Amino acid sequence: MAQHGTQAHSHLYGVILAGGSGTRFWPLSRERFPKQLLRIIGEETLIQQTVRRLLRSMPPRRIMMVTNEVQAESIKLQLTAWKEELADNYILEPEGRNTAPAIGLAAIRLVRQDPEAIMVVLPADHVIARPAQFQQAIRVGEKLAQEGYLVTFGIRPTRPETGYGYIQPNRRAGLGGKQKPLGYRVAQFIEKPDLPTAQQYVQSGRFFWNSGIFLWKASSLLEELAQQQPRLFRGLKQIDGLIQAGSSISQLVKPYRRLESISVDHGVMEHSARAAVVPVDFGWSDVGSWGSLEEVAKKNSSGNVTNGNVVDLGSRNSVLFADQRLVATIGLTDMVVVDTPDATLVCPKVLAQDVKKVVGILKKRRAPERLEHRTIFRPWGSYTVLEEGTGYKVKRVTVVPGRRLSLQLHHQRSEHWVVIAGRARVTRGEEVYELQAGDSTGIPKQTPHRLQNPGKVLLEIIEVQNGAYLGEDDIVRLQDDFGREPKTDVSNDNLKRRT
Amino acid sequence: MAQHGTQAHSHLYGVILAGGSGTRFWPLSRERFPKQLLRIIGEETLIQQTVRRLLRSMPPRRIMMVTNEVQAESIKLQLTAWKEELADNYILEPEGRNTAPAIGLAAIRLVRQDPEAIMVVLPADHVIARPAQFQQAIRVGEKLAQEGYLVTFGIRPTRPETGYGYIQPNRRAGLGGKQKPLGYRVAQFIEKPDLPTAQQYVQSGRFFWNSGIFLWKASSLLEELAQQQPRLFRGLKQIDGLIQAGSSISQLVKPYRRLESISVDHGVMEHSARAAVVPVDFGWSDVGSWGSLEEVAKKNSSGNVTNGNVVDLGSRNSVLFADQRLVATIGLTDMVVVDTPDATLVCPKVLAQDVKKVVGILKKRRAPERLEHRTIFRPWGSYTVLEEGTGYKVKRVTVVPGRRLSLQLHHQRSEHWVVIAGRARVTRGEEVYELQAGDSTGIPKQTPHRLQNPGKVLLEIIEVQNGAYLGEDDIVRLQDDFGREPKTDVSNDNLKRRT
């Protein structure tokens, strides 16, 4: 923590955009478990790495997260190391409206907190190989931001990528720096170009990739927003007022839906006279698809990126991602194979972007495999659906030492619990009793009950549910340690969660 | 059954070679669940189709099965329609020693039963598209067999396959038939040729594939065997004597292991003056690998053979075999993807033969995925392992109406049962009681217990086992309806089965 001690009195803030849709890394990512939550490279998940990276430049209480309610729960579970400091730093959008509204809302809040606030805006799910150089780039950007520039970081392109935006700097308009300019005014922003154009850009050496990482004074951004997107700006002001007045998220849905869905690149940067680009080289990758994983992940001598229980015979340059289940591959070249407990993807690397289309099909079919994993994390532990069938569901439930689930009852299902590890304290109606590995108990429907781990090791139980209806929304919460509402959950889907 | 009525007084017998190793269709086939047990094409499994095919020419009591003890149990479960008629028709080899010993043993037994016996020998796991023509071919072969010929069926080759044996007929030595010969003497048998040779054979139009289906008088075969393989013949005579005298399978292991492991093609046919070939065209395929499935299975308009829960975008000429789990494929060409509850295979069609090497690796690692499926069928029903972990195992157990498991006890594990469908009669120590869906019970270790389905619908329970040791061999069987030995099972592996 010493590293940001010197910056404690600066006006630098981090704004992490953490509202991914979980389509591009399906089936490892899901709608409710997007890429930022994945441990794709290294020991930490991408959002943990993103926070860690910002901590080189600022204390944790200066880091804000813009996300939605469902994902916030998962993010909090991953950021427990900074739980207290981040507690008030979540801005929850009722739905995603692209980056301009998310960033605008954060800027309004920051200016109120600190009129001099300078904000680094960055996605939660990018990889940056050299965090020290990232920290250095922030220092450079901060200088230009203080002069009122809207700074974006430009990456030297290494291939004619048609999925990115490009930036052309005005080389005659160098900014800051005495010998060598720190950055340049932007000549133009270019939306995703076609392949010949992209090839020309790469060859010319005169264009940068737009990294989607920005740095500016919150007040500068708001000035531009007010001028270029006055309707959006007014809408955001109104929403900020509602939040200030204590409106619930469901009350924000309507005004939020009226906001224009627009990116900050398109809505602000493209037409701003203050846009600047700082060339950087901190090993950036947006890891935009399974096909691009090789940019950042460790490859073996055959060029394969391999994970989990894979038995391979002679594959080359492929992404072979398994988990516990066995995946056998023979003689694959430039392929992607991703296996998860409930779904498997197989495609050539060059078509990995099309996984979005698969998720689209699954969404139409209301297939559960696009929404959530079989294992769901909760503040008290986790549960894994082992099997579901007509009239029954089998789960393995884990409870962290000292934690307990809500005191709850179900109208339509009975439950049986068999302890397989640890110690359980069970509340059933008026009774409270303890169980150990090998013990079991039954919870009739309509009976208030609670599962608690009074021990020092993880409690694990097998839960067998019986009943005509087994949706997660058949729950009446009578008391909860985690502030979850004492009512039936309403979700936007027939797949209910919450336990 | 009317169709074989006219042959009831013939001397025709069927000998099905049913001892596959389960490697080539892994992961759908397993060491203990080989290809013959799979429903690869059509409504019935390959061995069911093989029996059905023979029934056009003979009654069920004339069909013998040469297999091993483990597979016999699964085969019997698939052939329940002819349970009584086939009851005494299983010849159990203690281990596979190629086809000559298996066929020789069957021939010795048949000659004792019926000195005039004519045997059709055929593998259990081939596909024959036109069974009426197969029946006709048997009639033709039978005529030549009666004249003392050792008949093999020759298939007109459609591609330069290097995995088959070839037969060159002696076109000048036509056999039977007044206008057109029924068959030919064999000029030569050729073992698997190299590609240029195979190409030449196909182009010349003068060679047949060796189908591995034979037809001969059992006595003719034994005469040739005695002459060409006298040691093997003596060994088989000795083993037959031991079986006659009531020796157990374990007592046959040693003498069996002394037998030469040799094919009937190589050991008898190649050097026999009586070898004949009958050209046939009954739509034969040995379905030797996933790559060859397309020869027999139905393809969709993109040329894909698809099964189960597959979401595909634009794949062509591929085999996409899923089950319950979701498999998403994008833009594959000439690929094989096979998904099962515990293992997935991905490879190009042309390398599908190499799955044998994968199974070899799994065998070395003692990986359970090469041995058995997660669902195991038993005379009383089935069980599926849902999850295993330290100190616990979760199974879904089904019991067929009217059946019951053995009365048994376990030394090292307790069990909990939750009924999810149907009705269970539970014996626990001295108690007998009934449970319905939603009820549960616990069986302490060392306690004799039994699970029975007294109802008219399938009984399904979730069983949670707890204990330090959870091997299937921790079972003491006190009484069993299916004649299984009342002792701890000894298997050739640390993966124990039996329940």
Q: What is the pLDDT of residues A470-482, one digit of tens each?
A: 988 899 999 988 8
Q: Which whole number is the average pLDDT over B463-471?
A: 94
Distance CA A143, CA B87 (A): 89
The torsion angles phi and psi of B261, rounded to 5 degrees, stand at: -90, 105
* pLDDT (tens digit per residue) in A18-59: 987 878 999 999 999 999 999 988 899 999 999 999 999 999
The torsion angles phi and psi of A198, rounded to 5 degrees, stand at: -60, -40
Q: Which whole number is the average pLDDT over B439-444?
A: 95
In a domain, B363, yes or no: no
Distance CA B175, CA A312 (A): 52
How far the first Cα of chain A sits from its last, in Å, is 36
Distance CA A348, CA A10 (A): 48
Judged by a CB distance cut-off of 8 A, whether residue B362 touches chain A is: yes
Judged by a CB distance cut-off of 8 A, whether residue B363 touches chain A is: no
Q: Which whole number is the average pLDDT over A298-313?
A: 95
- Nearest Cβ partner for B326 among A343, A392, A442: A343
Domain boundary among B229, B261, B285: B285
Task: Please tell me whether residues B181 and B38 are part of one structural domain.
Answer: yes
The torsion angles phi and psi of A334, rounded to 5 degrees, stand at: 55, 45
A486: pLDDT confidence band, cut at 50, 70 and 90? Answer: low
Q: Give percent of chain B with pLDDT exceeding 90.
A: 83
In a domain, A270, yes or no: yes
In a domain, A422, yes or no: yes
Q: In the predicted model, is pLDDT for residue B160 greater than 80?
A: yes
A487 vs A493: which has the higher pLDDT: A487
Residue A8's pLDDT is what? 52
Judged by a CB distance cut-off of 8 A, whether residue B129 touches chain A is: no
Distance CA A68, CA A464 (A): 32
Task: Please tell me whether residues B249 and B343 are part of one structural domain.
Answer: no
Residue A7's pLDDT is what? 56
In three-state secondary structure terms, B228 is: helix
Pseudo-torsion of CA B313, B316, B322, B328, nearest 10°?
-20
Quote the domain boundaries for residue A451.
375-498
CATH number at A416 reads 2.60.120.10
How close, in Å, is residue B193 to chain A by CA atoms?
A: 24
Residue B444's pLDDT is what? 95
A495: pLDDT confidence band, cut at 50, 70 and 90? Answer: very low
Q: In the predicted model, is pLDDT for residue B482 greater than 50?
A: yes
Which residues are B123's β-sheet partners?
B17
CB distance B358–A311 less than 8 Å?
Answer: yes
Distance CA B433, CA B450 (A): 11
Residue A294's pLDDT is what? 85
Tokens at A189, concatenated: 């922003």
Q: In the predicted model, is pLDDT for residue A499 greater than 60?
A: no
Residue B486's pLDDT is what? 59
* pLDDT (tens digit per residue) in A397-408: 999 999 999 999
* pLDDT (tens digit per residue) in B334-390: 999 999 999 999 999 999 999 999 999 999 999 999 999 999 999 999 999 999 999
Q: Which whole number is the average pLDDT over A302-319?
A: 96
Three-state SS annotation for B112-131: HHCCCCEEEEEECCCEECCH
- Nearest Cβ partner for A346 among B332, B351, B362: B332
Q: In the predicted model, is pLDDT for residue B405 greater than 50?
A: yes
**By the 8 A CB rule, do A320 and A330 touch?**
no
In a domain, A109, yes or no: yes
How close, in Å, is residue A295 to chain B by CA atoms?
A: 22
Q: Which whole number is the average pLDDT over B15-29?
A: 91
Task: Please tell me whether residues B384 and B421 are part of one structural domain.
Answer: yes
Tokens at A102, concatenated: 């998310």
Q: Which residues contact A19 (CB under 8 A, 6 or more apart)?
A: A34, A66, A67, A68, A71, A93, A96, A102
Q: DSSP state, A466?
A: E
Instruction: For A149-211, give the DSSP string.
Output: -EEEEEE--SS--SSS-EEEEEEEEEES-SSS-SEEEEEEEE-S--HHHHHHHHHHT--EEEE
Q: Which residues contact B78 (CB under 8 A, 6 or more apart)?
A: B37, B45, B47, B48
Q: Which whole number is the average pLDDT over A426-453?
A: 96
Task: Region of A402 please: left (phi>0), alpha (psi -120 to 50) or beta.
Answer: left
**By the 8 A CB rule, do B30 and B359 touch?**
no
Task: Please tell me whether residues A338 and A423 are part of one structural domain.
Answer: no
In three-state secondary structure terms, B80 is: helix
In a domain, A361, yes or no: no
Q: In the predicted model, is pLDDT for residue A6 greater than 70?
A: no
Q: In terms of residues, how long is chain A?
A: 499
Judged by a CB distance cut-off of 8 A, whether residue B246 touches chain A is: no
CB distance B326–A351 less than 8 Å?
Answer: no
Q: DSSP state, B40?
A: -
Task: Please tell me whether residues B390 and B243 are part of one structural domain.
Answer: no
Owner of token pair 């993103």:
A50
CATH number at A44 reads 3.90.550.10
Q: Which 366-405 residues of chain B touch chain A by CB within 8 A? A: 367, 369, 386-387, 389-392, 394, 396
**By the 8 A CB rule, do A164 and A283 touch?**
no
Task: Please tell me whether residues B217 and B338 are part of one structural domain.
Answer: no
- Nearest Cβ partner for B438 among A345, A352, A414: A414
Q: In the predicted model, is pLDDT for residue A491 greater than 50?
A: no
Residue B295's pLDDT is what? 84
Q: In the predicted model, is pLDDT for residue B13 greater than 60?
A: yes
For residue B352, list chain A residues with Cβ-Cβ distance below 8 A: 330
**By the 8 A CB rule, do A115 and A219 touch?**
yes
**β-pairing verdict for A431-436 and A423-428:** antiparallel
- Cα–Cα distances (Å) from B487 to A371, B406, B407, B476, B498, in that order, read 49, 11, 12, 6, 11
Tokens at B56, concatenated: 């056009």
Name the residue of chain A whose CA is nearest to B415's CA.
Answer: A438
CB distance A467–B354 less than 8 Å?
Answer: no
How close, in Å, is residue A479 to chain B by CA atoms?
A: 26
Owner of token pair 């600047």:
A276
For residue A328, list chain B residues with Cβ-Cβ distance below 8 A: 26-27, 343-347, 355, 358
Distance CA B435, CA B418 (A): 9
Distance CA A23, CA A186 (A): 32
Q: In the predicted model, is pLDDT for residue B496 greater than 90?
A: no
Domain boundary among B251, B285, B319: B285
Task: Please tell me whether residues B193 and B137 are part of one structural domain.
Answer: yes
In three-state secondary structure terms, A444 is: coil
Residue B493's pLDDT is what? 39
Q: In the predicted model, is pLDDT for residue A203 greater than 60?
A: yes
**β-pairing verdict for A326-330 and B449-452:** unpaired
What's the domain count of chain B? Answer: 3
> What is the maximal distance between C-alpha atoms in chain B?
79
Q: DSSP state, B236?
A: H
**By the 8 A CB rule, do A268 and A225 touch?**
yes
Judged by a CB distance cut-off of 8 A, whether residue B148 touches chain A is: no
Q: In the predicted model, is pLDDT for residue A1 greater than 50?
A: no
**By the 8 A CB rule, do B158 and B318 touch?**
no
Which residues are B461's β-sheet partners?
B397, B419
**By the 8 A CB rule, do A396 and A461 touch?**
yes
- Cα–Cα distances (Å) from A189 to A166, B222, B250, in that order, read 6, 87, 80
Please, how many CA atoms are within 13 Å of residue A365, restricted to the half-sphere of its CB? 14
Helices (H) and strands (E) counted in chain A, each on its own, are: 11, 28
Residue A494's pLDDT is what? 37
Mean confidence (pLDDT) of chain B: 92
CA-wise closest residue to B338 among B75, B38, B138 = B38
Task: Please tell me whether residues A126 and A167 are part of one structural domain.
Answer: yes
In a domain, B368, yes or no: no
Task: Please tell me whether residues B213 and B332 are part of one structural domain.
Answer: no
Task: Please tell me whether residues A177 and A307 are part of one structural domain.
Answer: no
**By the 8 A CB rule, do B268 and B149 touch?**
no
Helices (H) and strands (E) counted in chain B, each on its own, are: 11, 28
Q: In the predicted model, is pLDDT for residue B488 greater than 60?
A: no
* pLDDT (tens digit per residue) in B47-102: 999 999 999 999 999 999 999 988 998 999 999 999 999 999 999 999 889 999 99
A305: pLDDT confidence band, cut at 50, 70 and 90? Answer: very high
CB distance A328–B27 less than 8 Å?
Answer: yes
In a domain, A152, yes or no: yes
Q: In the predicted model, is pLDDT for residue B180 greater than 50?
A: yes
CB distance A391–B437 less than 8 Å?
Answer: yes
- Cα–Cα distances (Å) from A359 to A96, B47, B362, in that order, read 18, 40, 33
Least confident piece of the model among A381-385, A395-399, A480-484, B184-188 = A480-484
For residue A464, list chain B residues with Cβ-Cβ distance below 8 A: 418, 420, 440, 462, 464
Task: Please tell me whether residues A99 and A164 are part of one structural domain.
Answer: yes
Task: Please tell me whether residues B343 and B439 are part of one structural domain.
Answer: no
Residue B177's pLDDT is what? 73
- Cα–Cα distances (Å) from A497 to A30, A364, A421, in that order, read 14, 19, 25
* pLDDT (tens digit per residue) in B224-250: 999 999 999 999 999 999 999 999 888
Tokens at B458, concatenated: 């399938």
In a domain, A118, yes or no: yes
Judged by a CB distance cut-off of 8 A, whether residue A466 touches chain B is: yes
Q: In the predicted model, is pLDDT for residue A110 greater than 80?
A: yes
Domain boundary among B285, B314, B331: B285
Q: Which whole number is the average pLDDT over A372-397?
A: 94
